Amino acid sequence: MKKLIILLGTAILVFPIIGLSQDAGRAATVRVAQASIQSLAPVIIVPGTVISRNDAKLAAEVAGRLIMVAEVGTVVDQGEAVASIEDTLVKLRKDEQEAEVIRAQARLRYLESEERRYVKLADSNLAAATKLEETRSDRDVSRGDLQVARSRLAQIEVQLARTRIGAPFGGIVVERLTMPGERVDVGDNVVRMVDQQHLEVIARAPLEYFSYLSAGQQLELKAGEKMARGSVRTVVAVGSENTHQFELRLDIEGKRFPVGQTLRVYVPTSELRDALVVPRDALVLRPNGISVFVVGDDQTARQVTVTTGIGAGEQIEVIGNLDAGDRVVTRGNERLRPGQSVSISGG
């Protein structure tokens, strides 16, 4: 009975050892990327804010009572009405002025007819010649009156058109500054509109780094875990006397952000230089230091101790026994051991 127990215990101990031995000999499945040379510069992180390039408060251009104001959240196209003002009085003035134009036209036609009649009589009748000069003078005055009447009619038509407040750009109504039924005077703000399509980032950086930025330059942006790139649209070469900072504005590329979103902007602090970089996921952080695993031609992993330098988005400079073109492990490197066989996954 004792011999049987000893044998069973021995069997229990042997099987786990065999299992561990099999795991150790199995190739680890990993994903790799190539180390490469890129032009990088050290950076500082400055705060930035997403703003719209078109953000406007639309005001009334004629006085009157509001009969319609678009609701907050209404998306409108360029030219679409966001508010309208009662136009009854303006229409009545338009009707009145149209009558003035008709009267001036009739007066002018009469005088032109009289002019033609007196021209025929002027050669034989001295009185007709005098009357012709008087008629021509009245005709010229009448032409002026007609022109004034038409100009006033055009002004009223412009006022009538301005009772409808149209969107100067496509966007969304974000605030109602007055309500339907309220009276507004010329210049009173009615709604606030924001263009959500044409965005930019505004940021400020220390003046000492001004020379390292130029229009068209690409900078890294980060909001939480979301990365994006921005193209420098303009650099304002005027620094604040109090903060000694200058302003830069960037067009956002790719990912969309809400207006007002706070971002981190990576601003270069020196000229570009060539650096050997790997994906950040290739770094293995352990108490004894930082390393990467390199896959050799024999499909085994060797561990290389590195130090890190400049970072740029998902790439980071590494310094160590590593060359451009080396395959570094980016997935599955947490449990790798030096000399272990690997199987490269393409996914």
**Nearest CA-CA partner of 319 in 343, 292, 288:** 292
Query: Helices H, strands E: what count in the chain?
Result: 3, 23
CB 254, CB 24: distance < 8 Å: no
DSSP assignment of 11-64: HHHHHHHHHHHHHHHSPEEEEEEE-EEEEE--EEEEEEEEEES-EEEEE-SS-E
pLDDT of residue 25: 56
> 141: alpha, beta or left, given left = phi > 0 and alpha = psi -120 to 50?
alpha
Which of 26-30, 121-125, 163-167 has the highest mean predicted lDDT (pLDDT)?
Answer: 163-167
Q: What is the dihedral of CA 227, 229, 233, 237, to 10 degrees?
A: 70
Q: Which residues have CB under 8 Å from 279's CB, separation 6+?
A: 33, 314, 315, 316, 328, 330
pLDDT at 99 over 50: yes
Q: Can you list the domains of the chain with their CATH numbers?
A: 26-40+273-344 (2.40.420.20), 43-53+198-268 (2.40.30.170), 58-86+163-194 (2.40.50.100), 88-161 (1.10.287)
Q: List alpha helices for the chain, DSSP H.
A: 2-25, 88-122, 126-161
**3 band by pLDDT with thresholds 50, 70 and 90:** very low
Helix, strand or coil for residue 89?
helix
**Nearest CA-CA partner of 342 in 97, 28, 25, 5:** 28
**Nearest CA-CA partner of 251 in 227, 206, 215, 226:** 215
Taking residues 276-291, report their average pLDDT.
Answer: 92
For 136-165, write each residue's pLDDT tens digit: 899 999 999 999 999 999 999 999 999 999
pTM for this predicted structure: 0.65
**20 band by pLDDT with thresholds 50, 70 and 90:** very low
Q: Residue 271 pairs with which residues in a beta bridge?
A: none
For 235-254, write each residue's pLDDT tens digit: 988 877 778 899 999 998 66
pLDDT of residue 124: 66
Helix, strand or coil for residue 334?
coil
pLDDT of residue 126: 66
Q: What is the mean pLDDT of the chain?
A: 87
Percent above pLDDT 90 for the chain: 61
Decide: residue 283, CB within 10 A, 0-12 exposed, 13-18 middle, 19+ buried. middle
